[in-house]
Amino acid sequence: MTKKDLLALLEGVRDGSVAPDEAARKLRAAPFEDLGFAKVDHARALRQGAAEVVYGEGKTAEQVCAIVRKLREGGARTVLATRLSADKAAALAAAEPDAAYDPASRLAVVGPLPEPDGAGEICVCAAGTSDLPVAEEAARTAEALGNRVVRLYDVGVSGLERLLAHVGDLQRARVVVVVAGMEGALASVVGGLVDVPVVAVPTSVGYGAAFEGLAALLAMLNSCASGVSVVNIDNGFGAGFLASRINHP
Amino acid sequence: MTKKDLLALLEGVRDGSVAPDEAARKLRAAPFEDLGFAKVDHARALRQGAAEVVYGEGKTAEQVCAIVRKLREGGARTVLATRLSADKAAALAAAEPDAAYDPASRLAVVGPLPEPDGAGEICVCAAGTSDLPVAEEAARTAEALGNRVVRLYDVGVSGLERLLAHVGDLQRARVVVVVAGMEGALASVVGGLVDVPVVAVPTSVGYGAAFEGLAALLAMLNSCASGVSVVNIDNGFGAGFLASRINHP
Amino acid sequence: MTKKDLLALLEGVRDGSVAPDEAARKLRAAPFEDLGFAKVDHARALRQGAAEVVYGEGKTAEQVCAIVRKLREGGARTVLATRLSADKAAALAAAEPDAAYDPASRLAVVGPLPEPDGAGEICVCAAGTSDLPVAEEAARTAEALGNRVVRLYDVGVSGLERLLAHVGDLQRARVVVVVAGMEGALASVVGGLVDVPVVAVPTSVGYGAAFEGLAALLAMLNSCASGVSVVNIDNGFGAGFLASRINHP
Amino acid sequence: MTKKDLLALLEGVRDGSVAPDEAARKLRAAPFEDLGFAKVDHARALRQGAAEVVYGEGKTAEQVCAIVRKLREGGARTVLATRLSADKAAALAAAEPDAAYDPASRLAVVGPLPEPDGAGEICVCAAGTSDLPVAEEAARTAEALGNRVVRLYDVGVSGLERLLAHVGDLQRARVVVVVAGMEGALASVVGGLVDVPVVAVPTSVGYGAAFEGLAALLAMLNSCASGVSVVNIDNGFGAGFLASRINHP
Amino acid sequence: MTKKDLLALLEGVRDGSVAPDEAARKLRAAPFEDLGFAKVDHARALRQGAAEVVYGEGKTAEQVCAIVRKLREGGARTVLATRLSADKAAALAAAEPDAAYDPASRLAVVGPLPEPDGAGEICVCAAGTSDLPVAEEAARTAEALGNRVVRLYDVGVSGLERLLAHVGDLQRARVVVVVAGMEGALASVVGGLVDVPVVAVPTSVGYGAAFEGLAALLAMLNSCASGVSVVNIDNGFGAGFLASRINHP
Amino acid sequence: MTKKDLLALLEGVRDGSVAPDEAARKLRAAPFEDLGFAKVDHARALRQGAAEVVYGEGKTAEQVCAIVRKLREGGARTVLATRLSADKAAALAAAEPDAAYDPASRLAVVGPLPEPDGAGEICVCAAGTSDLPVAEEAARTAEALGNRVVRLYDVGVSGLERLLAHVGDLQRARVVVVVAGMEGALASVVGGLVDVPVVAVPTSVGYGAAFEGLAALLAMLNSCASGVSVVNIDNGFGAGFLASRINHP
Amino acid sequence: MTKKDLLALLEGVRDGSVAPDEAARKLRAAPFEDLGFAKVDHARALRQGAAEVVYGEGKTAEQVCAIVRKLREGGARTVLATRLSADKAAALAAAEPDAAYDPASRLAVVGPLPEPDGAGEICVCAAGTSDLPVAEEAARTAEALGNRVVRLYDVGVSGLERLLAHVGDLQRARVVVVVAGMEGALASVVGGLVDVPVVAVPTSVGYGAAFEGLAALLAMLNSCASGVSVVNIDNGFGAGFLASRINHP
Amino acid sequence: MTKKDLLALLEGVRDGSVAPDEAARKLRAAPFEDLGFAKVDHARALRQGAAEVVYGEGKTAEQVCAIVRKLREGGARTVLATRLSADKAAALAAAEPDAAYDPASRLAVVGPLPEPDGAGEICVCAAGTSDLPVAEEAARTAEALGNRVVRLYDVGVSGLERLLAHVGDLQRARVVVVVAGMEGALASVVGGLVDVPVVAVPTSVGYGAAFEGLAALLAMLNSCASGVSVVNIDNGFGAGFLASRINHP
Average pLDDT over residues F101-113: 95
Residue of F58, F59, F233 with shortest CB distance to D208? F233
Interface test with A, best of C129, C153, C163, C164 (most A CBs within 10 A): C129
Strand partners, D100: D109
pLDDT-derived band of residue H50, with 50, 70 and 90 as boundaries? Answer: confident
Query: What is the pLDDT at residue C171?
Result: 82
- Residue F215 predicted with pLDDT over 70: yes
Calculated CA dihedral for residues D157, D158, D159, D165, nearest 10 degrees: 10
Share of chain G above pLDDT 90, in %: 65
Q: Which residues of chain G lie closer than 8 angstroms to H176, CB-CB?
A: none
Instruction: Give the model's pLDDT for residue B135.
Output: 98
Closest listed residue to residue D109, CA positions, set D125, D97, D123: D97
Residue F178's DSSP bridge partners are: F125, F200
Closest CA to H14 of G170, B11, B20: B20
Which phi and psi angles does E47 have, rounded to 5°? Answer: -135, 160
* Mean pLDDT value across residues C127-141: 95
The rounded radius of gyration (Å) of the Cα atoms in chain A is 20
Q: Are H49 and H116 in contact (CB under 8 A)?
A: no
In this predicted model, which residue has the larger pLDDT, H138 or C128? H138
Residue E151 to residues C185, E123, E170, F246: CA-CA distances in angstroms?
46, 6, 10, 21
pLDDT at D1 over 60: no
Residue D35: count of CB within 10 angstroms of its CB: 13
For residue D16, pLDDT beyond 70 = no
Distance, CA of C221 to CA of C230 (rounded, Å):
6
List, for residues H81-105, the tens digit of each pLDDT value: 999 999 999 999 999 999 999 999 9
Per-residue pLDDT of chain B (249 residues; tens, 9 = 90+): 444 555 566 667 666 677 655 654 454 444 344 444 444 544 344 444 577 899 888 888 998 999 999 999 988 899 999 999 999 999 999 999 999 999 999 999 999 999 999 999 999 999 998 999 999 999 999 999 999 999 999 999 988 878 888 888 898 999 999 999 999 999 999 999 999 999 999 999 999 999 999 999 999 999 999 999 999 999 999 999 999 999 998
Instruction: Provide the angle, in degrees to the nearest 10, between the axes of the packed helices A20-29 and D3-15.
Output: 100
CB of B31 within 8 Å of a chain G CB? The answer is yes
> Does the pLDDT at position H44 exceed 50?
no
Contact D168 C11 (CB under 8 A): yes
Task: Return the pLDDT at H7.
Answer: 58
In this model, does residue H32 exceed pLDDT 70?
A: no
pLDDT in tens, D120-175: 999 999 999 899 999 999 999 999 999 999 999 999 998 887 888 888 889 899 99
- Supply the angle between the helices C20-29 and F3-15 in degrees, to the nearest 10: 100
Of the given ranges (A49-63, B152-166, F12-26), which has the lowest mean pLDDT?
A: F12-26
Instruction: Identify residue B68 by its one-letter amino acid code.
Output: V
Residue G21 has pLDDT above 70, yes or no: no
Residue A122 has pLDDT above 50, yes or no: yes
**What tens digit of pLDDT does each residue of F117-134 get?**
999 999 999 999 899 999
Which phi and psi angles does H230 have, rounded to 5°? -130, 145
Per this entry, what is the length of chain F?
249
How many helices (H) does chain H have, and how many strands (E)? Answer: 10, 11
HEC assignment per residue over chain D: CCHHHHHHHHHHHHHCCCCHHHHHHHHHHCCEEECCCCEEEHHHCCCCCCCEEEECCCCCHHHHHHHHHHHHHCCCCCEEEECCCHHHHHHHHHHCCCEEEECCCCEEEECCCCCCCCCCEEEEEECCHHHHHHHHHHHHHHHHCCCEEEEEECCCHHHHHHHHCCHHHHHHCCEEEEEECCCCCHHHHHHHHCCCCEEEEECCCCCHHHHHHHHHHHHHHCCCCCCEEECCCCCHHHHHHHHHHHHCC
Output b/e per residue, H161-184; b: 16+ Cβ within 10 A.
bbbbbebebbbebbbbbbbbbbbb
Q: Considering only alpha carbons, which residue of chain E is nearest residue H165?
A: E28
CATH architecture of A121-247: 3-Layer(aba) Sandwich (3.40)
Q: Which of F129, F130, F203 to mutate to test the interface with G (most CBs of G within 10 A)?
A: F129
Which pLDDT score is estimated for E92? 97
Residue F148, strand partner residues: F121
Of C167, C155, B150, B164, the closest CA to residue D23 belongs to B164
Torsion angle, CA of C236/C240/C245/D2, rounded to 10 degrees? 100
Chain A residue with CA closest to D26: the answer is A14
Per-residue model confidence (pLDDT) at position B38: 46
- Give me the residues paired with residue E233 across strands: none
For residue E19, the chain G residues in CB contact (below 8 A) are 16
d(CA D172, CA D72) in angstroms, rounded, equals 35
Contact D210, F235 (CB under 8 A): no
- Give Dmax (Cα) for chain D: 65
Name D79's Cβ contacts closer than 8 Å, sequence gap at least 6.
D51, D52, D53, D54, D68, D71, D72, D109, D110, D111
Q: What is the pLDDT of residues C167-190, one digit of tens each?
A: 888 989 999 999 999 999 999 999
| Pair C138, C106: CB distance under 8 Å | no
Residue G78: the pLDDT is 93
Q: Do chains C and G touch (3 or more CB pairs under 8 A)?
A: no
**Neighbors of chain F by Cβ distance (3+ pairs < 8 Å):** C, D, E, G, H
What residues contact residue D36 under an 8 Å CB cut-off, 6+ apart?
A: none
Assign 3-state DSSP to chain G and report helix, strand, coil percentages, each to 5: 45, 20, 35
Judge whether residue F20 has pLDDT over 80.
Answer: no
Chain E residue closest to F242 (CA)?
E227
Q: Tell me which of A10 and F243 has the higher pLDDT.
A: F243
CB B221 within 8 A of CB A230: yes
Residue E10 near chain F (CB below 8 Å) = yes
Per CB-CB distance under 8 Å, the chain G contacts of E14 are 20-21, 23-24, 27
Closest chain B residue to the Cα of C224, Cα to Cα: B158
CB H91 within 8 A of CB H64: yes
Other Cβ atoms less than 10 A from the Cβ of B39: the count is: 18
Is the pLDDT confidence value at E82 over 50?
yes
**Which residues of chain H make contact with F125, given a CB cutoff of 8 A?**
none
Return the exposure string of C107-136: e unless at least 16 CB atoms fall within 10 Å of the residue's CB, then b: bbbbbebbebebebbbbbbbbbbbbbbbbb
State mean pLDDT over F206-224.
Answer: 96
**To the nearest whole number, what is the mean pLDDT of chain F?**
86
pLDDT above 60: residue E178: yes
Q: Which of residues 118-147 of F touch H (CB under 8 A)?
A: 127-128
pLDDT of the residue at D232: 98
Model confidence at D33, pLDDT cuts 50, 70, 90, reads: very low
- The H-assigned helical ranges of E145-185 are 160-164, 167-172
What ipTM was assigned to the predicted interfaces of this complex? 0.84
pLDDT, position A129: 86
Cα–Cα distance for residue pair H180/H213, rounded to 1 Å? 9
Q: Assign G193 to helix, strand or coil.
A: helix
Of A225-229, C51-55, E79-83, G84-88, the range with the lowest mean pLDDT is C51-55
Q: pLDDT at position G17, please?
A: 75
Lowest mean pLDDT among D107-111, F130-134, G74-78: G74-78
Share of chain D above pLDDT 70, in %: 81
Whether residues G159 and B217 touch (CB distance < 8 A) is answered with no
Task: Determine, for residues C193 and D246 on separate chains, whether the beta-carbon distance falls below 8 Å.
Answer: no
Q: Which of E161, E163, E164, E183 should we substitute to test contact with C (largest number of C Cβ atoms within 10 Å)?
A: E161
Question: CB E224 to CB D192 under 8 A?
Answer: no
Measured in whole angstroms, how far is the alpha carbon of residue H233 from the centre of its chain? 13
E10 touches chain G (CB under 8 A): no
Centre a 10 Å sphere on the Cβ of residue C101 and count the other Cβ atoms it contains: 18
Residues near E235 by beta carbon (within 8 Å), at least 6 away in sequence: E134, E201, H208
Residue A14 neighbours by CB under 8 Å, 6+ apart: D20, D21, D23, D24
Nearest in space to C219 (alpha carbons), one of C193, C180, C190: C180
- If one compares C201 and E18, the residue with the highest pLDDT of the two is C201
User: Rounded mean pLDDT of E4-28?
Assistant: 59
CB G24 within 8 A of CB E15: yes
Give the strand pairing for G99-102 and A107-110: unpaired
With contact defined as 3+ CB pairs under 8 Å, the chains touching G are A, B, E, F, H
CATH 3.40.50.1970 occupies which residues in chain E? Answer: 121-247
Q: Residue C159's pLDDT is what? A: 83
pLDDT at D47: 42
Mean of the pLDDT values across residues G186-211?
95
The whole-number pLDDT of residue A227 equals 94
Residue G80 clears pLDDT 70, i.e. is over it:
yes
Between H130, H159, H208, which is nearest E233 by CB? H208
Beta strand pairing call for C107-110 and C79-82: antiparallel
CA atoms within 13 A on the CB side of D211: 19
pLDDT band at A135 (very low <50, low <70, confident <90, very high): very high
CB B50, CB B205: distance < 8 Å: no
Q: How far apart (Å, rounded) are the C-alpha atoms in residues D56 and D52?
A: 13
Q: What are the φ/ψ torsions at residue B219 (nearest 5 degrees)?
A: -60, -45
CA distance F200 to E73: 36
Q: Compute the distance between CA of residue B88 and CA of residue F37 in angstroms, rounded to an integer.
A: 48
Question: Which residues in chain B have Cβ-Cβ distances shorter than 8 Å to C156?
Answer: 224
